[in-house]
Chains A and B, each alone.
Chain A
Amino acid sequence: MDLNPSEEQQLLVETFGALYAKESSPEHVRAAEPSGHDHGLWGRLCHNGVLEMAVDEESGGWGASLLDLALVAEQHGRYVGSAPLLESQVAIRLLAGVGTSEARSAVAAALSGEFLTTLALHPPRDGVLALVPAGAVADTVLFVDGSRLWATPAGEGRRAVANLGSLPVADLPVGEDAQLLAEGPEVGEWFERARDEWLVLAANALAGIGSRSVEIGVEYVKERHAFGVPIGSFQAVAHGLADAATRVDGGRLLAREAAWAADEDPDRFPELAALACAFNAEAAREASYRSLHYHGGYGFMLEYDIQLYFRRAKAWPAQFAEPAILYARAEAYRLSGRAE
């Protein structure tokens, strides 16, 4: 057992941590609202190879592990980055696995930065892809309908949706111009794999939101005085933060374990991915809620940073599903032979 990131991973965390600290300060995050997309940040992230690291050498990338991507996702969450990191990484990995010449050129187009490519996390319903992550800013949306994988240009007809997390999501009607990329029984497996990967990256991003939320709360309750003492000396406040910190600590271990399992314990990967996302969604929600509440009335003001975390802690995982659905998804893998 070794819970420390390797030296290379530590360097990765420091590099991206510094990038986010500079390019995704609370001022940047606010400035990118309400669209939720910061061109400057996304440009810096691409320049630093977030897409290349997601695919292997054969596809023109570096072939980082999912755990490496997860460590970057945690930094993304700590700084609530306004950039389509998770979905574009997952989409390009899905494309890279297809292997046809159309898919290969789509990978190349995505890597060049020319076509921002994302993945719809759910199949279309009544001809509409609902709340596509990064759907409001993407050029291409991948989606799966039964045994078919499609790529559709995301321009005409899309409707950006104002939302809780200031996310660049959109409802997208599927048009005639969708291109069939692959068809066959393997498409369903690829899609589930891509969804599991999104869940793991979201879990790690949520661990980042949770940790930073605890820190913001701790800083505040040490400074703020009431009844002549710092409010952090009241058990009602201190214990809420202790519980939140414990859940966040445990959640981060679970999120990292799930990412590690992608390569090292593949049988458990789908189960751990869903467990990790559900648990971290609840942990981040608790941490951001308590932290906001301990700010008293100030927490309710947009001027304080904690509200940026509070809204995203709920909205980010909701793009996939509520925690109850994710727990059920994980349990289906545990109960023998019952996974859909």
Chain B
Amino acid sequence: MDFRLGERVETFRQEVRSFLERALTDDVREEMERTGVHHSWSFHRSLVEHGWLAPGWPEELGGQGLDPLETLAFMEEFHRAGAPTYAVSTTLMVAGIVRHLGTDEQKQLVIPPALRGEKIMVLGFTEPESGSDVATAQTRAVRDGDQWIVNGQKMFTTNAQEADYVFMLTRTNPDVGKHQGLTTFLVPLRQPGVEIQPVYTLSGERTNLTFYSDVRVDDSLRIGEVDRGWDVMQLELTLERAGDHGGEPIRLLAAMEEWAESTVDHTGRARADDPDVRTRLGRAAAENEVISLLCRRSAWIHASGGVPAVEGSMSKLFASEALTRQSADFVDLLGSDGIRSYRDPTAPAAGMAEYDFRIALGTTTYGGTSEIQRNIIAQRGLGLPRVR
């Protein structure tokens, strides 16, 4: 057994760190803070210049050909630095689906501009009436010659205001079982009939509600076969869960440990010398080590040619629940000062506990709620009967 990611990976990690120190400027951070948009075109372009938009992709497609463990180390560093990666990851996820399931024409249309950093793509699955039960999507697509006409609404279409395409799950046949009548399309967002309404969230991040009225999409932008969209979704959902989930809790603990070492209580004792403080930090340290190990296990399985379906669910479930627990505990540990906002310069521990207390409740939902992950672990991992 060897728990190191390997010397090559660690050398590469150093390179990523120094890149982030240069590219993730105060201006980029300030803009993210102010607008709530976790996407920065200048940062995005500096990634492209470095060849790091899609480091895990093969070189002939514009990537760097990194293996899954190197890619994980890359993501770990981005998340620990708090870099804007959401648009990059949705773009690559959609590009990955096109790469596996798209036609040659679709690959030509989508992959080169995405990897050149010219186009971003976003996800359109969730609707006002369907979240976890994603297969009940009601947004309709009706064929009209060589085109389809789309009508409906999508929720949490994050970065739609910056994007060129939304990868959309639509209902093409309402008369069959809910899993059978679905089809996926790349719907161009910059056209009449598309309305983007900003939605502000607990994390401070802006997402969107998007409306589609008689929006036209060419049949050539259909991904996969008609009425077989559920098969496409299976690939997408697996891609979404296996990855790094450790960045945020590791950032939070580092801020809290620095706080403990630099702050004294009313008796003049360093907080770091209080056994209760140590216990609470230590518990988070154990959880964070476990998060890293679970995420690395998924990458290792992937690198060894396997598909970490259950393992990816375990890492996503454990990490998001741990962040929820830790951030609430750390707001308490900071005392009344724990409520001072991330945006306020007087906040202790750089306001990380207050910030994570808010964002944690997004992490237990996106990519499948904790309950969905537990269903997957119970059924596919433990072999329990179908749960209800």
Identify the A interface with B (CB < 8 A). 1-6, 9, 67, 214, 218, 221-222, 229-230, 232-235, 238-239, 241-243, 245-247, 249-251, 253-254, 256-257, 260-261, 264-265, 271-272, 274-276, 278-279, 323-332, 334-336, 338
Instruction: Kindly name the residue among B280, B294, B318, B382 whose own CB sees the greatest number of chain A CB atoms within 10 A.
Output: B382
Q: Is the CB of A241 within 8 A of B384?
A: yes
Measured in the bound complex, the distance between the Cα atoms of B280 and A328 in whole Å is: 8
Q: Is the CB of A3 within 8 A of B1?
A: yes
Given contacts A221-B384, A330-B282, 4 further A-B contacts (CB under 8 A): A1-B6, A3-B3, A229-B385, A264-B4
The 7 closest A-B pairs by CB, nearest first: A327-B282, A331-B282, A250-B290, A238-B378, A328-B278, A242-B377, A242-B374
Q: Is the CB of A249 within 8 A of B374?
A: no
A contact residues around B300 at 8 Å (CB): 1-3
Measured in the bound complex, the distance between the Cα atoms of B277 and A324 in whole Å is: 10
A contact residues around B1 at 8 Å (CB): 2-6, 9, 67, 256, 260
- Which partner residue on chain B sits nearest A323 by CB separation? B283
Identify the B interface with A (CB < 8 A). 1-6, 69, 257, 260-261, 272-273, 275, 278-283, 285-287, 289-291, 293-294, 296-297, 300, 303, 314, 317-318, 371, 373-375, 377-379, 381-388
Q: Is the CB of A327 within 8 A of B278?
A: yes
B contact residues around A250 at 8 Å (CB): 290-291, 293-294, 314, 318
Write the nearest CB–CB distance from A46 to chain B, whole angstroms: 26
Q: Is the CB of B374 within 8 A of A327?
A: no
Contact of A241 among B260, B317, B378 (CB under 8 A): B378
Write the nearest CB–CB distance from A75 to chain B, whole angstroms: 16
On whether A218 and B387 interact (CB within 8 A), knowing A3-B297, A334-B285, the answer reads no
Q: Is the CB of B387 within 8 A of A235?
A: yes
On whether A331 and B378 interact (CB within 8 A), knowing A4-B1, A6-B1, A235-B371, the answer reads no
B contact residues around A323 at 8 Å (CB): 283
A and B contact pairs by CB, cutoff 8 A, 25 listed = A9-B1, A218-B383, A222-B384, A222-B385, A229-B385, A232-B384, A232-B387, A238-B387, A241-B378, A242-B382, A246-B294, A249-B314, A250-B290, A254-B286, A278-B282, A327-B280, A327-B286, A328-B278, A328-B282, A329-B282, A330-B282, A331-B282, A334-B282, A335-B260, A336-B261
Write the nearest CB–CB distance from A195 to chain B, whole angstroms: 16
Write the nearest CB–CB distance from B312 to chain A, whole angstroms: 12
Measured in the bound complex, the distance between the Cα atoms of B378 and A221 in whole Å is: 11
- Which partner residue on chain A sits nearest B300 by CB separation? A1
Contact of A331 among B279, B318, B388 (CB under 8 A): B279
Measured in the bound complex, the distance between the Cα atoms of B302 and A3 in whole Å is: 13
- Which partner residue on chain A sits nearest B379 by CB separation? A238
B contact residues around A1 at 8 Å (CB): 2-6, 69, 296, 300, 303
